[in-house]
């Protein structure tokens, strides 16, 4: 890259995407300006940029969303262009127009295209006119709850109730009946008003067994437009993507071409320029329907970059500077397979609800960058960073790329095993378990995958027999290494004969006792399990290390290790086991110890996440029925309806609407 289209650009965003844009700008020799709120003074994007401008207090509507502050920062620093990232001001036509008036270039499409595509109702009409296949539904606005039920009935259940201004899966609900249509309308409307300041709602058919497949497009200011193949994003929770891949395991070449051609037609219909994404919902017969067009860089753009070798941020910058697309449709290839996992600060054990706090430990796996093998981690945090309640809970995007899908999945599983995050709830155990899930590995997925496979929420998978044995060997081995080291520290005489002797251990895990014997054998260990030889096992683990790589033959398994009293807590592939390691005689005694019982909380409604009580729907003394709405809690701009799990009588409500609660704080108490 020799020519540079701009000498200085400002990035009107934060977190991983700001870092991502800065990285390419730097490679292009472009100076970068970051902006930051009080909450982000020490953030990574601020450190990475050449300059940084403070733009106000933490709430986004007083900092990152204030167009005037961004424009003032451009004037102050002489930035010629602004990259908006995603979210925030990226799809705000008025911001783009305001920049234009100042003679500052917006690195994205023109205001007219943003406006046309930013509204789901308008964009659907334009798409239909451009010959794009759209979801059947009612093309108008819904006026009230009764109207919602009436229209839903006409379309035929199930339906999807959506906010026209929606994004990020917010303001959207499925309804299967008139009652759900009415309640869904009210909830979506209120969520849309608070998230987007626009409460217009529409309704369309809910496509069953849907897969979310989207087409990346690139278009320049001279009428050239191409598509960069598809990404599949069917692994979603709360209508928001968690895992994406490119290409899609579901598309054939013909469907891909048809979707690509329609996407390019839509881009041309709105004189689109820049990178954009046309999202489709695809049914089981490969019928595809337009959902929306995102007129910005997409969160999951890295998987496309990995299979095409095209840097989308670079293309956006060049297009904004008026350059011609240097890539033709025939230059776009599919090289291998790429997977992206979004690491969220959210607790998989609590229905994926947001978690906040300080990253006391943050060690991503080693990145790799080869033609056919990549491990890429896009992130905006480091160890010690604070995950605040003000912004999106995504902490990193981990991507792997390999020649084929299963190799990419295995590489992801290993990268996740090596990823260390502590201090906050996070979804790594869930992502790890997913990588081992047979349905996912077969590519047999729909957007309902998480809801179908984890109906009661995520619980760590139980180990199978082979994994149980692996965990037992690992625990015994770590205890053996620790024991040797303790013996050396305590000054016990180093006795070669004793070292060579077999050490017998009993490992108690997953409710079982397994006998493991270990002896040192020239740089490795000779291990037997329940009397059967396991063979030579090697590890370089030392007491204090938080990762243990254990090699048996040509198979290496990575465990996260945490010492606990009498043993280790081990995690691998999303499986989390506590292993107690005893000398055989002690194991007999330990078996006689009573188990501790967890306190009974079944008569309490606990706050499932740190959040704000929006409203209380029952009073002390009320009798409630199963499924009745008890309270609504807002966290990270999502309204969560808490319902009664069984018939009960409300004994006490120690909180009021407007209260801010910590996780597990009591919202109400029922009579026993």
Q: Are 380 and 388 in contact (CB under 8 A)?
A: no
Any contact of residue 156 with ligand ADP (CB under 6 A)? no
**Shortest distance, CB of residue 196 to ligand ADP, whole angstroms?**
5
Q: Which is nearer to Mg ion, 91 or 180 (CB)?
A: 91
Burial of 116 (0-12, 13-18, 19+ CB in 10 A): buried
Cα 299 from Cα 428, distance rounded (Å):
18
* CB nearer ligand ADP, residue 343 or residue 668: 343
Residue from 84, 87, 260, 611 binding ligand ADP (CB under 6 A): 87
Locate 662 and state its tokens. 């910590």
DSSP structure string for 510-572: TTEEEEEEEEEETTEEEEEETTEEEEEEEE---TT-SEEEEEETTEEEEEEEEEETTEEEEEE
**Which is nearer to ligand ADP, 575 or 638 (by Cβ)?**
638
Q: Tokens representing 590?
A: 């330990």
In the region spanning residues 555 to 614, those forming contacts with Mg ion, defined by CB under 5 A, are none
Choice between 224 and 234, CB closer to Mg ion = 234
236 binds ligand ADP (CB under 6 A): yes
Comparison of 289 and 559: residue with beta carbon closer to ligand ADP = 289
338-377 footprint of ligand ADP as x/- string (CB under 6 A): ----------------------------------------
Q: Examine residue 84 and tell whether it contacts ligand ADP (CB under 6 A).
A: no
- Region of 168-176, 320-328, 466-474, 597-605 interacting with ligand ADP (CB under 6 A): 168-176
Region near Mg ion per CB under 5 A, out of 37-45, 272-280, 394-402, 498-506: 272-280
For 45-56, b/e burial (b = at least 16 CB within 10 A) is bbebbebbbebb
Residue 46 contacts residue 36 (beta carbons within 8 Å):
yes
Three-state DSSP state, 192: helix
User: Which one of the spans 231-239, 279-287, 307-315, 360-368 is the region binding Mg ion (CB under 5 A)?
Assistant: 279-287
DSSP H or E segment with residue 82: strand 81-83
* CA–CA separation, 204 and 153 (whole Å): 11
Q: How far apart are CA 84 and CA 72, in angstroms?
A: 15
Q: What's the min distance (Å) between Cβ of 445 and Mg ion?
A: 17
Are 402 and 376 in contact, with CB atoms under 8 Å apart? no
- For the bound state, the minimum distance from the C-beta of residue 574 to ligand ADP, rounded and expressed in Å, comes to 23
Torsion angle in degrees (nearest 10) through CA of 356, 359, 361, 364: 90
Residue 240 is a binding residue for ligand ADP (CB under 6 A)? yes
597: burial class by Cβ within 10 Å (0-12, 13-18, 19+)?
Answer: exposed
The distance of closest approach from Cβ of residue 207 to Mg ion in the complex, given in angstroms and rounded to an integer, is 14
Q: How far apart are the first and last CA of the chain?
A: 71
What is the closest distance, in whole angstroms, from the C-beta atom of residue 232 to ligand ADP in the complex? 10
Q: Kindly tell me the sign of the dihedral angle through the C-alpha atoms of 377, 378, 381, 382.
A: positive
CB burial readout 15-35, b (16+ within 10 A) else e: bbbbbbbbebbeebebbbbbb
Which one among 180, 230, 378, 392 touches ligand ADP, defined by CB under 6 A? Answer: 392
Which of Mg ion, ligand ADP, none is residue 169 near (CB under 5 to 8 Å by kind)? ligand ADP
| Cβ neighbours for 194, distance < 8 A, ≥ 6 positions apart | 634, 637, 639
- Tell me how far, at minimum, the Cβ of 243 lies from ligand ADP, in Å: 11
Q: Which of residues 383-412 bind Mg ion (CB under 5 A)?
A: none
Cβ atoms of 557 and 474 closer than 8 Å? yes
| CB nearer ligand ADP, residue 293 or residue 529 | 293
Q: Can you tell me which of 241, 397, 508, 572 binds ligand ADP, judged by CB under 6 A?
A: 241
Site for ligand ADP (CB under 6 A): which residue of 212, 376, 397, 405?
212
Yes or no: say if 161 and 201 are a contact pair by the CB < 8 Å rule. yes
Q: Which helix (H) or strand (E) holds 452?
A: helix 449-453
Closest by CA to 88, choosing from 66, 55, 56, 115, is 66
Residues 127-146 that bind ligand ADP (CB under 6 A): 135
Cross-strand pairs, 175? 159
Give the Cα separation of 663 and 601 in Å (integer): 14
Please list every residue from 439 through 458 that binds ligand ADP, using CB under 6 A: 447
Of 177 and 628, which CB lies nearer to ligand ADP in the complex structure?
177
Q: Is 250 in the site for ligand ADP (CB under 6 A)?
A: no
Q: Which residue is nearest to Mg ion (CB)?
A: 279
Compute how many other C-beta atoms are within 10 angstroms of the C-beta atom of residue 403.
13
CB 231 to Mg ion: min, Å: 12
Residue from the set 13, 24, 274, 294 that interacts with ligand ADP by CB under 6 A: 294
Q: x/- string (CB under 6 A) for ligand ADP, residues 169-208?
A: x--x-----------------------x-------xxxx-
Q: Is 93 in the site for ligand ADP (CB under 6 A)?
A: no
Residue nearest to ligand ADP (CB): 167
> Residue 13 binds what, of ligand ADP, Mg ion, none (CB under 5 to 8 Å, by partner type)?
none
d(CA 392, CA 398): 16
Burial 252-282, CB ≥16 within 10 A → b, else e: eeebbeebbebbbebbebbebbbbbbbbbbb
Tokens of 27: 């490679």
Of the candidates 16, 180, 292, 639, the residue annotated as catalytic is 292
Q: Which residue in the set 55, 93, 242, 291 belongs to the binding site for ligand ADP (CB under 6 A)?
A: 291
Give the residue, chosen from 63, 298, 377, 385, that forms a contact with ligand ADP under the rule CB under 6 A. Answer: 298
CB nearer ligand ADP, residue 238 or residue 350: 238
User: Quick check: 299 binds ligand ADP (CB under 6 A)?
Assistant: yes
**Which residue(s) pair with 633 in the sheet?**
613, 640
Q: Closer to ligand ADP at the Cβ: 316 or 548?
A: 316
What's the full length of the chain, in residues?
Answer: 672
Interface region with ligand ADP, contact rule CB under 6 A, candidates 32-40, 160-168, 471-479, 506-514: 160-168
| 292 is a catalytic site residue | yes
Which residues does the annotation mark as catalytic?
A: 292
Binding site for Mg ion (CB under 5 A): 279
> Interface with ligand ADP by CB under 6 A: which residues?
86-87, 135, 160, 166-169, 172, 196, 204-207, 210, 212, 236, 239-241, 279, 281, 291-292, 294, 298-300, 392, 447
């Amino acid at each position: 890259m020799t020519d540079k289209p701009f000498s200085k650009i400002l990035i009107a965003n934060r977190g991983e995407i700001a870092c991502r844009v800065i990285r390419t700008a730097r490679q292009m020799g472009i100076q970068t300006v970051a902006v930051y709120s009080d909450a982000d003074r020490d953030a990574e994007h601020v450190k990475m940029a050449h300059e940084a401008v403070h733009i106000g207090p933490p709430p986004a509507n007083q900092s990152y969303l204030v167009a005037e502050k961004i424009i003032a920062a451009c004037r102050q620093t002489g930035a010629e262009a602004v990259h908006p990232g995603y979210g925030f001001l990226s799809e705000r036509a008025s911001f783009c127009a305001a920049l234009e008036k100042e003679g500052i270039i917006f690195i994205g499409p023109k205001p007219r295209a943003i406006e046309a595509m930013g509204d789901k109702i308008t964009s659907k009409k334009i798409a239909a006119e451009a010959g794009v296949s759209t979801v059947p539904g009612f093309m108008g606005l819904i006026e009230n709850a009764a109207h919602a039920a009436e229209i839903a009935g006409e379309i035929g259940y199930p339906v999807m109730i959506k906010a026209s201004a929606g994004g990020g899966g917010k303001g959207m609900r499925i309804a299967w009946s008139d009652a759900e249509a009415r309640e869904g309308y009210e909830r979506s409307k209120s969520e849309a008003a608070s998230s987007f300041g626009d409460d217009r709602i529409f309704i369309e058919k809910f496509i069953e067994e849907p897969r979310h497949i989207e087409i990346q497009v690139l278009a320049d200011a001279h009428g050239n437009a191409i598509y960069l193949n598809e990404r599949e994003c069917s692994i979603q929770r709360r209508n928001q993507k968690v895992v994406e891949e490119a290409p899609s395991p579901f598309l054939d070449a013909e469907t891909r071409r048809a979707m690509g051609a329609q996407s390019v037609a839509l881009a041309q219909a709105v004189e689109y320029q820049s990178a954009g994404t046309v999202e489709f919902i695809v049914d089981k017969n490969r019928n595809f329907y337009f959902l929306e067009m995102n007129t910005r860089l997409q969160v999951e753009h890295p998987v496309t970059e990995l299979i095409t070798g095209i840097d989308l941020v670079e293309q956006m910058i060049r297009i904004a500077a008026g350059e011609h697309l240097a890539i033709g449709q025939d230059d776009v290839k599919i090289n291998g397979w790429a997977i992206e996992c979004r690491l969220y600060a959210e607790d998989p054990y609590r229905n994926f609800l947001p978690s906040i706090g300080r990253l006391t430990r943050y060690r991503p796996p080693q990145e790799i960058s080869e033609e056919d093998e990549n491990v890429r981690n896009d992130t905006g945090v480091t160890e010690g960073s604070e995950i605040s309640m003000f912004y999106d809970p995504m902490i990193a995007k981990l991507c792997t790329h390999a020649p084929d899908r299963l190799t990419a999945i295995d590489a992801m599983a290993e990268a996740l095993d090596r990823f260390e995050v502590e201090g906050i709830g996070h979804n790594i155990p869930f992502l790890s378990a997913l990588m081992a899930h047979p349905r996912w590995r077969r590519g047999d997925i729909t957007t309902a995958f998480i809801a179908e496979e984890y109906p009661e929420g995520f619980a760590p998978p139980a180990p199978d027999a082979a994994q149980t044995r692996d965990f037992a060997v690992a625990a015994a081995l770590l205890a053996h290494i620790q024991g040797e080291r303790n013996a050396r520290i305590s000054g016990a005489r180093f006795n070669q004969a004793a070292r060579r002797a077999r050490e017998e251990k009993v490992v108690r895990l997953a409710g079982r006792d397994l006998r493991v014997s270990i002896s040192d054998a020239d740089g490795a260990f000779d291990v037997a399990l329940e009397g059967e030889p396991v063979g030579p096992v090697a590890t370089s683990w030392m007491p204090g290390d938080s990762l243990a790589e254990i090699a048996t033959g040509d198979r290496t398994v990575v465990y996260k290790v945490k010492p606990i009293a009498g043993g280790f807590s081990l995690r691998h592939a999303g499986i989390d086991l506590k292993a107690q390691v005893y000398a055989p005689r002690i194991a007999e005694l330990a078996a006689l110890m009573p188990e501790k019982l967890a306190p009974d909380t079944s008569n309490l409604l606990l706050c499932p996440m740190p959040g704000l009580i929006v409203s209380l729907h029952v009073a002390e003394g009320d009798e409630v029925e199963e499924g009745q709405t008890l309270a609504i809690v807002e966290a990270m701009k999502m309204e969560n309806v808490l319902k009664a799990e069984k018939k009960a009588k409300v004994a006490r409500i120690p909180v009021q609407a407007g209260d801010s609660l910590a996780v597990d704080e009591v919202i109400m108490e029922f009579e026993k």
